């Protein structure tokens, strides 16, 4: 079976992508072949597309860590041809060719059925970024944040941040959004942020061991000093979900937020999460946590992926980018 894909190749240390015809190998036992209707652009895909070490295992490679589509061929008892499904994470788009191709072949254990009342397009409007935002919110809600103080979200206009702002606001939490794009204040307010905080202003004062405890919880999508500061501002027994590193891998903290306020720092790794946890989040997105992301996601074709990759690497992307295969 031939299929079209955005293939990233390396030549003399320079990585570049182009659309190529590839051939799908015969199906292996326990696998499914999915006809991908939609994939989405995540930060990790942009890293894989530009040859950053530690993401794609080898090149030539097809990025794309998430897909929504229908089963074309199945060697599994759990899925049959024609069934609509979602797959995110594990080795998809890391060492297994991903959703920037019209077909993927993956183990059935990575796949969840598309929830009823949920479209394939809707699924990839959330995509891995949305799933990660959902995982962050689920984990801070498990810690029963008070409604007394707002929840703080960093990287608010990004893929993860924008879904987190939308979701928390839909769940009636007051949301304060940290952003480097003050010109996007209106869109952040439309997503549900009651206050938009300039990233530079947030970081203007040095990080203290303990600051005023004015937030009930935090969703940090950027790491670095912003995470350090966030930790110092969370009220007693609140929590921070940490999932990203665009602002830096390292952060510093004293022990005081933990031993004097009892706060929790919760790590989120959506890619390797248990498949049942992923299913739980998708089911929530198709029911109690349903969100209309139409105004915060754009649908592009494979031909336009290059520009969008540059934009996400520059931190200039807003909301979600969905890749549509076929007409
Ligand atoms: N752990 C997991 O399971 C998981 C899953 C998905 C993603 N991630 C990680 O989460 C992070 C965000 O992913 P994403 O898909 O939301 O990416 P994204 O769409 O590019 O959003 C990142 C946002 O962070 C802000 N930002 C960019 N550069 C920054 C800097 N130098 N300092 C502070 N803020 C900066 C920008 O928003 P503003 O301009 O609004 O500030 C940007 O839009 C990435 O590190 C990604 O690898 C982790």
Q: Cα separation of 153 and 193, whole Å?
A: 9
Unique residue bearing structure tokens 């009892």: 262
221 lines ligand 1 (CB under 6 A): yes
Name the closest-CA residue to atom 45, ligand 1: 244
From-to residues of CATH 3.90.180.10 in the chain: 2-114+293-324
Q: Do the Cβ atoms of 62 and 98 come closer than 8 Å?
A: yes
- Stretches where the chain sits below pLDDT 70 are none
**CB 278 near ligand 1, within 6 Å:** no
pLDDT of residue 202: 97
**Residue 10, phi-psi category: left (phi > 0), alpha (psi -120 to 50), beta (remainder):** beta
pLDDT at 57: 92
Of all protein residues, the one whose alpha carbon is nearest to atom 36 of ligand 1 is 155
A 10 A CB-CB count for 42 gives 30
Please give the number of the atom of ligand 1 that sits closest to the Cα of 178: 41
Around 156, how many Cα atoms within 13 Å sit in the side-chain half-sphere?
35
> How many angstroms does the Cα of residue 82 sit away from the middle of ligand 1?
35
Cα(265)–Cα(263) distance, integer angstroms: 7
- The pLDDT score that the predictor gives to residue 327 is 79
Predicted confidence at residue 257, as pLDDT, reads 97
Q: Do 200 and 225 meet the contact criterion of CB atoms below 8 Å apart?
A: no
Whether this model's pTM surpasses 0.95:
yes
Which residue puts its alpha carbon closest to atom 44 of ligand 1?
Answer: 244
- Is the four-CA dihedral 8, 11, 13, 14 of positive or negative sign? negative
Q: Residue 57: how many CB atoms within 10 A of its CB?
A: 11
Ligand 1 within 6 A of CB of 296 = no
- What pLDDT was estimated at residue 147? 81
The predicted structure's pLDDT at residue 200: 97
For CATH 3.40.50.720, the residue range(s) in the chain are 129-267
Write out the CATH class of domain 2-114+293-324.
alpha beta
Q: What is the mean pLDDT of the chain?
A: 96
Name the DSSP letter for residue 61: B
In this prediction, residue 179 carries a pLDDT of 98
Quote the CA–CA distance of 51 and 67 in Å, as a whole number: 21
**Whether residue 60 has a cis bond before it, omega within 30° of 0:** yes
Q: Which CATH superfamily is domain 129-267 in?
A: NAD(P)-binding Rossmann-like Domain (3.40.50.720)
pLDDT for the residue 172: 95
Q: Which of 14, 17, 26, 19 is nearest to 4 (CA)?
A: 19
**Chain centroid offset of residue 245 CA:** 12
How are beta strands 234-242 and 264-267 bridged, if at all? parallel
Query: Is any atom of ligand 1 closer than 6 Å to the C-beta of 139?
Result: no
Contact, 172 vs 149, CB < 8 A? no
Backbone angles phi, psi at 258, to 5 degrees: -85, -40
Pocket of ligand 1, candidates 40, 154, 222, 281: which has the most ligand atoms within 8 Å of its Cβ, to mutate? 222
Neighbouring C-alpha atoms within 13 Å toward the C-beta of 48: 30
Instruction: Kindly give the distance from the C-alpha atom of residue 15 to the centroid of ligand 1, in angstroms, as a whole number.
Output: 22
User: Which residue's alpha carbon is nearest to atom 32 within ligand 1?
Assistant: 247
**Whether residue 159 has its Cβ less than 6 Å from ligand 1:** yes
Q: What pLDDT, on the 0 to 100 scale, is given for residue 265?
A: 98
What does the pLDDT read at residue 326? 86
Q: How far apart are CA 221 and CA 158, in angstroms?
A: 9
CA–CA gap between residue 83 and residue 42 (Å, rounded): 25
Q: Ligand 1 within 6 A of 223 CB? A: no
Q: Give the nearest ligand 1 atom to 317 CA.
A: 43
Confirm if 226 and 127 have CB atoms less than 8 A apart: no
Question: Residue 264: CB within 6 Å of ligand 1?
Answer: no
């Amino acid at each position: 079976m031939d299929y079209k894909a955005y293939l990233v190749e390396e030549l003399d240390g320079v990585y570049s992508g182009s659309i190529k015809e590839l051939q799908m190998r015969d199906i292996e036992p326990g696998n499914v072949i999915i006809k991908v209707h939609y994939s989405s652009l995540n930060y990790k895909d942009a890293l894989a597309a530009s040859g950053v070490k530690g993401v794609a295992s080898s090149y030539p490679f097809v990025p794309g860590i998430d897909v929504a589509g229908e089963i074309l061929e199945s060697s599994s008892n759990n899925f049959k041809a024609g069934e609509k499904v979602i797959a995110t994470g594990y080795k998809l788009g890391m060492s297994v060719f991903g959703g920037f191709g019209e077909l993927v072949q993956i183990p059935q254990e990575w796949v969840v059925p598309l929830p009823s009342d949920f479209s394939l397009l809707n699924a990839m409007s959330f995509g891995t970024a949305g799933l990660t935002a959902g995982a962050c919110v689920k984990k801070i809600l498990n810690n029963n944040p008070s409604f007394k103080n707002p929840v703080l979200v960093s990287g608010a206009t990004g893929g993860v941040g924008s879904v987190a702002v939308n979701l928390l606001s839909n769940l009636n939490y007051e949301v304060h959004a940290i952003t480097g794009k003050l010109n996007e204040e209106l869109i952040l307010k439309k997503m549900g942020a009651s206050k938009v905080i300039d990233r530079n202003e947030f970081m203007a004062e040095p990080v203290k061991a303990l600051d005023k405890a004015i937030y009930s919880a935090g969703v940090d999508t950027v790491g670095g000093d912003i995470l350090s500061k966030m930790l110092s501002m969370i009220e007693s027994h609140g929590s921070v979900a940490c999932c990203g590193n665009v602002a830096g891998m390292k952060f510093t903290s004293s022990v005081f937020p933990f031993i004097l306020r009892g706060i929790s720092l919760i790590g989120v790794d959506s890619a390797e999460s248990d498949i049942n946890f992923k299913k739980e989040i998708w089911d929530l997105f198709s029911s109690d946590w349903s969100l209309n992301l139409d105004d915060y996601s754009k649908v592009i074709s494979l031909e336009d992926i290059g520009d969008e990759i540059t934009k996400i690497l520059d931190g200039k992307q807003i909301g979600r980018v969905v890749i549509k295969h076929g007409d």
